[in-house]
Amino acid sequence: MPRLVLLPGKERSILKRHPWIFAGSVARLEGRARRGDTVEVVADDGRLLGRAAWSPDSQIRARMWSFSPDTPIDHAFFKRGVAACVARRASHPGLAGETGLRLIHAESDGLPGVIADRFGDVVVMQLTSAGADKWREAIVAALVQATGCRAVYERSDSEVRALEGLAPVTGCVHGELPEGAPVIAEGAVKMEVDVVAGHKTGFYLDQRDNRRLTGEFARGRDVLNCFCYTGGFSLHALAGGAKSVLSIDSSAPALEGARRNLALNPALDAARAEWRQADVFEALRALKSEGRSFDLIVLDPPKFAPSAAHAARASRAYKDINLFGFRLLRPGGILMTYSCSGGIGLELFQKIVAGAAADVGVDARILHRLSAAPDHPVGLAVPEGEYLKGLVVQVD
């Protein structure tokens, strides 16, 4: 087996069980390894540290599969790993009965570069690292055995694959997709999932608990949902008894999906829902000019800062949308604001939101700090996995 030898002192992060080995930590590769091959990781003093997947095209040159040098990386390894991930979700009382569920959350579940979401009888798999791509067949077989799913559909079309030297891969890799989009339920709210062309794996399962909280706050309120995608927050607001819900997104297909989702829920009053296709920043300015105001505003924008290098520019964008959010809130109103940018930490995000409130001249307090649902765990040794953060803020 090829051996990846680290520079002196660079074993410290591995000993703390962080799975990434950056290019600047590598002294040399002994032997030949192709993209995705398993290599032994060796400290400068010769200590064996574990086994990793080699990725010569990426700044993350290797990702640890195991911190034990004696663990074989084979089909049985992935069978055990996938089964353990599925079992953890099955044993979590807060996830019982969920028809939409993240089964594998990459590094935080000990399987770097592997993401798998279940939507009813369909599992959507996304492989983002060279090592995961190398073991595609083993991962698919393990998913089928652990879940008994009807189909596994691959959505390995994320831009991060290019950093690993990998081309996009999409398509059914097991079974056949059922006719029509899978439909999942979050409490009484039903929503369809476009596994073929939807964002990411087709749906944002990480916001599940936060959508439900929106419903709890929405009763009797006029609600504004920005970057609404297929209307998850909007539907929960309607189910919670909102007086009205205005939902804005720049994507016509997303809004078409939102309208279909509303139709899946005949108990909801469609007359209380308004859908608007527009650039959210421009729409917020227009709403202010129109003299509109709201009791509850949801700001769930796309990722503005994929890494810390983009934090400064992203901070300005987050500041702008939160400024408009505070300007459009009525006295006593509630702002539910989110960032899914890994390059923006919770402390910085809170400072941005606080700065926006100060600039508008409102006093506000944090009612809740929010994060991803529990099927999106964060590994203690991998704080980078805590990408989603949210604040529920009430103004005077």
Which residue from 142, 175, 163 is spatially nearest to 74, judged by alpha carbons?
142
* Alpha-carbon gap, residue 187 to 99, rounded angstroms: 10
Instruction: Decide if 364 contacts 395 (C-beta within 8 A).
Output: yes
Which amino acid is residue 320, in one-letter code?
A: D
Active site residue 340: yes
Instruction: Decide if 40 contacts 3 (C-beta within 8 A).
Output: yes
Count of other CB atoms within 10 angstroms of residue 188: 12
Distances (CA, A) of 9 to 5, 12, 67: 11, 6, 17
* Alpha-carbon gap, residue 332 to 296, rounded angstroms: 9
- Integer Rg of the chain from CA: 22
* Alpha-carbon gap, residue 18 to 381, rounded angstroms: 5
Helix (H, G, I), strand (E, B) or coil at 74: coil
* Alpha-carbon gap, residue 48 to 237, rounded angstroms: 54
3-state percent helix, strand, coil for the chain, nearest multiple of 5: 35, 30, 35
Q: Is 270 exposed, middle or buried (0-12, 13-18, 19+ CB in 10 A)?
A: exposed
Which amino acid is residue 362, in one-letter code?
A: V
Among 85, 149, 226, 340, which one carries the catalytic annotation? 340
Instruction: Decide if 208 contacts 134 (C-beta within 8 A).
Output: no
Report the catalytic residues.
Answer: 340
